[in-house]
Chain A
Amino acid sequence: MNPFAFTQPKDLDGVLAQLAEGARPIAGGTNLLDLMKEGVMTPSQVVDINAIATAGLDRIEEAGGGLRLGALARNADTAYHPLVRDRYPLLASAILAGASPQLRNMATNGGNLLQRTRCVYFYDVGVPCNKREPGTGCPAKHGINRQLAILGTSEQCIATHPSDMCVALRALDAVVHVHSSGGTREIPFGEFHRLPGERPELDSTLQPGELITHIALPDAARFAGHSAYIKVRERLSYAFALVSVAAALDLDGDTIRAARIALGGVAHKPWRVEEAERELEGKQAGEAAFALAAERILQGARGWGQNDFKLPLAKNAIVQALQTAVRGTAYARGERE
């Protein structure tokens, strides 16, 4: 790791002052320290934001008919919180599908949103990467791309966003609340992460000097009984997704009143096609409708060689997730997935 100046402000203003100077915030540290050991990120100033948890940033609480997830609440505490488990089982499932128990004990909700891609070229400072060093090129397109994106890619970058939690947050219409010395701002989840385009070095629309304070979830009671998070990976646990699907249905008997579907492991951001969800409304829940929705969601998808298998895999995973959701949320059936 490179030497860096380190501060631990006791209040939000102190943190914001450090951020304004260009300091890199650290909370759980699970991704940042890993990247610093690899030399991928080399901040000269790091600001520890954990001390400002006392301002309520580590709480999970009811707010505005939904929930407010503090940015400094740990992933494990969020997933196991009774309000999250009961009202947002999709989110609990997605969080528990990610990382390991140790990492979930450390990682924060804010940090989960800001984790970097695990593309091997991004992690290897000995090779070009447009995300790490803009303009150097993207060897992934014709290289090791088994894990990488099939949707929303650009000439510059085919990286994926690695989070499971964010896939559920996208499906659940979360809103990211941020604070800076200039005031506060709310970012709808679909606008928080971005596609690589011509600026693959930017993962999100968070601006320099801004700090995530909490994530707001609107009421989603109608989806709680029929939700499922399916994660397909190289081993049964503790691996990043090849493809993951967060699916939630509001059903009237067999008829779909509303659907929410978001995908992980396929793009630079959690992938969601709201038209496909609207087209499901009023349809009979079943394989025929789900397969059509899957095709709509995957419109424009393309493989890069090693990841060509993700196209049929994603389609099948969408159908399976929706069928699982129809049968009922795992906890509601008294089953464990």
Chain B
Amino acid sequence: MRRLVTVLVAVVVLAAPALAKKPPVPLAAPAFALPARSGTVVLDSLRGKVVLVDFWASWCEPCRKSFPWMNAVHQRYAAKGLVIVAINLDKTRGPADKFLEEFPAPFTIAFDPNGKAATAYRVKAMPTSYLIAPDGKVLEMHAGFDSKYAAALEARIAGALSP
């Protein structure tokens, strides 16, 4: 029994740093040029706009919630200048297209099957979203998706759009 407790404590001690550490957020949003549904998406060409970058995949369960939310945000803020770029990380186009049939998206979808942009953005979980200011700096990063965070992010977007 005592041995069990000792090991339990050891595991918790070893795990603590991993739990406490927050993944480092890149200060300046890394550039990317990725194929989109039509044409190419180049982040640098979006300088001067508020951009929401979301890394997603067809197999990511919470993405089934984030897409309807991004749709709603697009409806409300696209006219005010918000640009949403949802970067897909599926290894092949098939599953991604199938997902988009189920969750149609009017915003930009980019494809990063090799994960180059995801690596540059140091994505640690699926999905992960980054709010980028007009000057190219990352305002906020959030791993995962839940309704509480979504409400806070929307407020942040509204704040960033009205100077």
A and B: bona fide binding partners = no
Q: Which residues of B contact A (CB under 8 A)?
A: none
Q: Which residues of A contact B (CB under 8 A)?
A: none
